[in-house]
Amino acid sequence: MALRFEVLGRFNRARAARLTLPHFTCQTPLFMPVGTQGSTIKGLTTDQLETIGCQIILGNTYHLELRPGSQLIDDLGGLHKFMNWKRALLTDSGGFQMVSLLHLADITEEGVTFQSPVDGKPMLLTPEESINIQNNIGADIIMALDDVVKTTITGPRIEEAMYRTLRWIDRCIAAHKKPDVQNLFGIVQGGLDPVLRDICVRGLVERNLPGYAIGGLAGGEDKDSFWRVVAQCTAGLPEDKPRYVMGVGYPLDIVVCSALGADMYDCVYPTRTARFGSALVPEGVLKLKQNAMATDERPIDPSCPCMVCKNYTRAYLHCLVTKDPMGSQLLSYHNLSFMARLSRDLHMSILEGRFPEFVRGFLRVQFPKGDVPKWVHNAMEVAGIDISECCTPTNCQHDAMEAAGVDISEFCPPTRCP
């Protein structure tokens, strides 16, 4: 295998690890920004991404094959050289486009046929072709083609997709020509069905892959179902392999999933929300388009050491985000800096034995009124982290008191205790 995964510290399920890949040695937990047009993080250079502290960039196989083409990338020395990125890369399989471009796709056992949004021509993506394209691109981590369905879908389609994903992983393994320099990750599917998820986890673990992803989430399912799937899958995946929850980018979700034993995340959220004029801050989201920002001389986040917070006021950024593309570029820089700092803080707090304190501090800032969502409380119970001091009786103790026959309605809002 072309990776080494060493767990350096733990707190119950949570772990801080060193992930050594062909192009870079990473610290986990980690967040990966997504190249929305193949491998480009809109508005940012690779030097800026390195300064921010990005460890792995995610490239989109589907878009890279459309433009400029994987063969050209290979002829020019691979994607690292092509985009001048010296750290690690991960490419998706193209499977996500089955959901995002479903109106253009036809899924069969052979593969998925897309209608190209560029020229309208059909493009057949089989497991073999997906791996061939990713071999040409040359990323450190490549993803198996899976049959992706939204978690909000129910019925036999979920089971069909899970078993097809297991059949396709064998075709991906057989097609993979560069296992000595590229790591093939399998993807756990099965919707919200714990039986199907368990079958898929066991089937993938039997293949002894370099790493594993939890797919099919962050697609509209309720949060209680979301964390339970993550908890189930991380519990069943190997201790000595990286675990990647796909499509997750909200800071709260990353903290919760890390507490449950996940290591890697990706999402367009930090850069997409920047383009809408919103900045990530410890309290949540700061909307710089609001009129109140027009005269605010403070930085986005006084505690943030990034270039944007050191040099620009909220008032200046308010002016830019309403009129100039530079605004979204600066907010993208800040938001990815925020995610990189969150990743470092998670890693160090686990390593230094203060992870529960970090989680409680994070929640106190995000929910100063104590209104921590019930799903977070439930997940933290499974993770073995006591967050009762961060929560009001309404959120954490109401059900327990009710079961014990204790009336606490005088402490609760009417919506909870009419």
Residue 334 assigned as binding residue: yes
Residue 306 assigned as binding residue: yes
Residue 216 assigned as binding residue: yes
Q: Say if strands 88-91 and 284-287 run parallel, antiparallel, or are unpaired.
A: unpaired
Q: Tokens for 307? A: 């270039």
| Residue with token string 């809109």 | 42
Do the Cβ atoms of 187 and 213 come closer than 8 Å?
Answer: yes
Whether residue 386 lies in the annotated active site: no
Residue 95 assigned as binding residue: yes
In DSSP terms, which residues pair with 174 in a beta bridge?
Answer: none
Residue 309 assigned as binding residue: yes
HSE-CB of 326 using CA atoms within 13 angstroms: 9
HSE-CB of 181 using CA atoms within 13 angstroms: 10
Q: Which residues, 6+ apart, have CB-to-CB distance to 25 below 8 Å?
A: 18, 19
Rounded to whole angstroms, the Cα distance separating 10 from 68 reads 43
Rounded to whole angstroms, the Cα distance separating 185 from 153 reads 25
Whether residue 253 lies in the annotated active site: no
Rounded to whole angstroms, the Cα distance separating 215 from 247 reads 8
Residue 303 assigned as binding residue: no
Rounded to whole angstroms, the Cα distance separating 91 from 76 reads 18
Q: Which of 75, 92, 198, 222 is catalytic?
A: 92
Q: In Å, how far from its chain's centre is CA 104?
A: 25
Q: Which of 47, 266, 324, 386 is catalytic?
A: 266
Detail the residues annotated as belonging to a binding site for substrate.
92-96, 146, 189, 216
Catalytic site positions? 92, 266
Could you tell me which residues are annotated as the binding site for Zn(2+)?
304, 306, 309, 334
- Residues making up the annotated binding site are 92-96, 146, 189, 216, 304, 306, 309, 334
